[in-house]
Structure 1
Amino acid sequence: MEPVNGASKVKVIERLRSAGLRPTRQRVALADLLFREGDRHVTAEQLHEEAVRAHVPVSLATVYNTLNQFTRAGLLREVAIDGAKTYFDTNTSNHYHFFMEETGDLVDIESDALKVVGLPETPNGTRISRIDVIVRLSDQ
């Protein structure tokens, strides 16, 4: 397994602990891969490929489980496309996305560029927790 450098490892461990997660070796290695380059969108398969290239011994099932644990802990945001493809977003703020149909890329939309208006009343005892907007783009 390729080692996470000292300063990075301490940050990753602190981030996992503050989210209520035990910093296992695999979680630390996957979190380092996920968060070292800033905000990004990744599928489980993409992260698994990165882990294999970095010599992190982890199964695809473990990657899925870890991504779902990170999402429940608030470290990631899940973005589902057509129910068939799921991306995990390291930017957990409220924001929207462009989906590039030809390449499968997901790109953030600047939050000020889109306004959602005319939301319906929610049923008693509920509130809107977030709004997902995905604008699909295709080549001309």
Structure 2
Amino acid sequence: MAVTNSTEQRRGQEWLTRGGLRPTRQRLALATLLVGDGENRHVTAESLYAAACDAGEKVSLATVYNTLKAFCDAGLMHEITVDGARSYFDTRMDDHPHFFWEDDNRLSDAPAEELKLASIPQAPEGAEITRVDVVIRVRKA
């Protein structure tokens, strides 16, 4: 994930605009790393911070965390929490399940067409279900 060309930066800029976010230098750099190549990805704050440092961007880990939260709040990403403490951020916004690879602490998309949920509980009175996250834990055999 390296910030390399104007096409990638344009994609990052368009993504920020779609979320209604002001394109600060740091937001644009992180957005370009996340979506500049047109691919969806799963990142942790730490992995995005490392990619930003590798790309020569001057950004703190705290800024990466805050920016990822802003991207989620703007509806550009989903946060998927694994083990109650480890968060992954997904740029793919449609409903789909995930595999969590326990051997290397990695999240990947699982085939949505193979997931069959017969039903889910009704939301408690006065609440609505906003999303259902399905994380299937796997390890190499």
Normalised by the size of structure 2, how large is the TM-score?
A: 0.91
Question: Which residue of the partner structure matches residue 21 of structure 2?
Answer: 21
Q: For the residues of structure 1 that align with 2:129 and 2:81, how far apart are their CA atoms? A: 18
Q: CA deviation at 1:129?
A: 1.0
Q: CA deviation at 1:3?
A: 6.4
Q: For the residues of structure 1 that align with 2:14 and 2:78, how far apart are their CA atoms? A: 19
Q: How many residues of Structure 1 are paired with residues of Structure 2 in the alignment?
A: 139
Q: For the residues of structure 2 that align with 1:99 and 1:3, how far apart are their CA atoms? A: 27
Q: Which runs of 5+ in 2 are unaligned?
A: none
Q: For the residues of structure 1 that align with 2:64 and 2:114, how far apart are their CA atoms? A: 33
The question of 1:62 aligning with 2:63 is answered yes
Q: CA deviation at 1:36?
A: 2.4
Q: Would the alpha carbon gap of residues 120 and 31 (structure 1) be closer, same or farther in structure 2, given more than 3 Å must change?
A: same
List aligned pairs for 1:81-100, cutoff 5 A: 81-100=82-101
Q: For the residues of structure 1 that align with 2:82 and 2:27, how far apart are their CA atoms? A: 25
Question: Which residue of the partner structure matches residue 7 of structure 2?
Answer: 7
List aligned pairs for 1:1-140, cutoff 5 A: 5-37=5-37, 38-140=39-141
Q: CA deviation at 1:121?
A: 1.9
Identity of aligned residues (%): 46
**Aligned-partner residue type, residue 23 of structure 1:** P
Q: Which runs of 5+ in 1 are unaligned?
A: none
| Superposed structure 1 runs of 4+ greater than 6 Å apart | none
Q: CA deviation at 1:4?
A: 5.2
Q: For the residues of structure 2 that align with 1:121 and 1:47, how far apart are their CA atoms? A: 36
Normalised by the size of structure 1, how large is the TM-score?
A: 0.91
